[in-house]
A and B are shown apart, each in its own frame.
Chain A
Amino acid sequence: MSLAVRVIPCLDVHDGRVVKGVNFENLRDAGDPVELAARYDAEGADEVTFLDISASVEGRQTTLEMVHRTAGEVFIPLTVGGGISSVEDVDTMLRAGADKVGINTAAIHRPELIGEITRRFGNQVLVLSVDARREPEQPSGFGVTTHGGRKPADLDAVEWARRGVELGVGEILLNSMDADGTTGGFDLEMIRAVRAVVDVPLIASGGAGQASDFPPAVAAGADAVLAASVFHFGTVKITEVKQALSDAGYPVRN
């Protein structure tokens, strides 16, 4: 008996709608989060992640309603990230129906936030999202970025992941900004570097282009794999990823 490697599709949402085209056949409404989450559930997704990119208060409110609706219809774990900056934000998301919440920039600005959240809700609700890229000037060779990879945070990514776990996060979502969108495969070196310093579950993200890209990420130390566009555009199906993982000897949920 052992845990299955989790395969997680990630959807960008804006004002309660899924954006960045999702190209499924037979969808009534390609922007409807409930329909998309249900579709991924049916295809075997082990969790669904929503990244909220709403800029306005109204937009975030609409996103909350979307989370509420999804949690009422889709019975697999739901993580919501993007714009979480306080204990109240976490409380609101969990009450709306999220199971886990991702934090990123707010934790970089104020690391104490991690402890504030996990003391109240437990460490299992908090995912530290680390957007990292290669930065030779950092001791580990990897640096944290903000604003979608555009701004350097002047922070060593491996050290930040280690510190995040020390402060209480229950999981790390490691997103390679160099590999993101390249479809050239995961940044295995980065996964190995972070794996070496954290014992909490590690989700690898960024760079997946084909099913065969996934098993090496697990071999490098990931407990879960996350991707967006390859799933949305149907380039790779979740079942194909699971087959590839299974063929490589990793347990998956059928």
Chain B
Amino acid sequence: MTPELSVVVLDYGLGNIRSAQRALARTGVEVTVSVDHDEAVAADGLVVPGVGAFAACVDGLINIGGDKIIAERVAAGKPVLGICVGAQILFTEGVEHGRRVAGCAQWPGVVEELYARRLPHMGWNTVDAPQQSKLFGGLADERFYFVHSYGVRERARPALGEAVVTWAEHDGDRFVAGIEQGPLSATQFHPEKSGTAGARLLQNWVASL
């Protein structure tokens, strides 16, 4: 019998982590909600959730040393999955109401308000995933649940180099919907709220642990 995989959902005070916890548990992994450094570093997988403002999430994350946990895991090749604002904070910086806040800088890119008539971008949208994406394997033409006003916009020309980038589009503005590079993955949408498609995506991630 293979030993059960362990996943830690990083609890830094922001976000509805219960859904993420339960959705991951359904993939068959052992899920722990924790802020403990050693536990978060040791787990087979780490999920970084997040809702609300970029600055507040970065503050919360740094408060518990989450930025260091992420950096240590990535350096050691251990998988991390960021969700929504938990994905955004993996980029260089965020700009909200003219204020710049540094992120974890795992990827180059600025998180800024989308150029769209209708904001927040709220609801089920399709994505444009490249063939080599592992996260979106078997998920062509599926819709995922987004709820956000900010993102990493294609028109800002983020230098994402080797990363496997999945794009989504709202009111003509394209932005990063998913990104994968080595041990680091992230989705702008909420897989834990995206029904069976989201469950399949989480399964794909767990399969990579």
Binding site for B on A (CB under 8 A): 1-4, 6, 41, 46, 68, 71-73, 75-77, 94-100, 120-125, 170-171, 199-201, 223-224, 253
CB–CB A201/B193 < 8 A: no
Instruction: Flag whether B37 is at the interface (Cβ < 8 A).
Output: no
- Shortest CB distance B154–A (Å): 13
Q: Please state if B52 and A3 are interface contacts (CB–CB under 8 Å).
A: no
Q: Are B52 and A122 in contact (CB under 8 A)?
A: yes
- Which residue of chain A has the shortest Cβ distance to B14 in the bound complex? A121
Pair B120/A200 contact, Cβ less than 8 Å: yes
Given A77-B147, A124-B148, A71-B120 contact (CB < 8 Å): no
Q: When A and B form their complex, which 8 residue pairs have the shortest distance between CB atoms, in order from nearest?
A: A122-B52, A253-B124, A3-B123, A4-B124, A1-B169, A72-B22, A253-B143, A124-B120
11 contacts between A and B (CB under 8 A): A1-B126, A71-B16, A94-B16, A97-B18, A121-B51, A122-B53, A124-B147, A170-B122, A201-B120, A223-B122, A223-B123
Chain B residues within an 8 Å CB radius of A77? 145, 147, 190, 193
Residue pair A199, B18 in contact (C-beta under 8 Å): no
Chain B residue numbers with a CB within 8 Å of A124 are 51-52, 120, 122, 147-149
B52 touches A4 (CB 8 A): no
Interface hits, B94-143 → A, CB 8 Å = 117-128, 143
- The interface residues of chain A lying within 8 Å CB-to-CB of B170 are 2-3
User: A residues within 8 A CB of B120?
Assistant: 123-124, 170-171, 200-201
Chain A residues within an 8 Å CB radius of B124: 3-4, 6, 46, 253
Is B198 an interface residue when CB atoms closer than 8 A count as contact? yes
Chain A neighbourhood of B125, CB < 8 A = 1-4
Closest-by-CB residue of B relative to A170 is: B120
In the complex, chain A residues whose CB is within 8 Å of the CB of B18: 68, 71-72, 95-97
Contact across chains for A75 and B194 when beta carbons are under 8 A apart: yes
Tell me, in angstroms, the Cα distance from A3 to B168 when the chains sit together. Answer: 10
User: Which residues 137-163 in B have Cβ within 8 Å of A in the complex?
Assistant: 143, 145, 147-149
Q: How far is the CA of A46 from the CA of B143 in the complex (A)?
A: 11
Look across to chain A and name the residue whose beta carbon is closest to the beta carbon of B168.
A1
Any A CB within 8 A of the CB of B19: yes
Docked complex Cα distance between A121 and B51 (Å): 7
> Are A75 and B192 in touch, CB under 8 angstroms?
yes
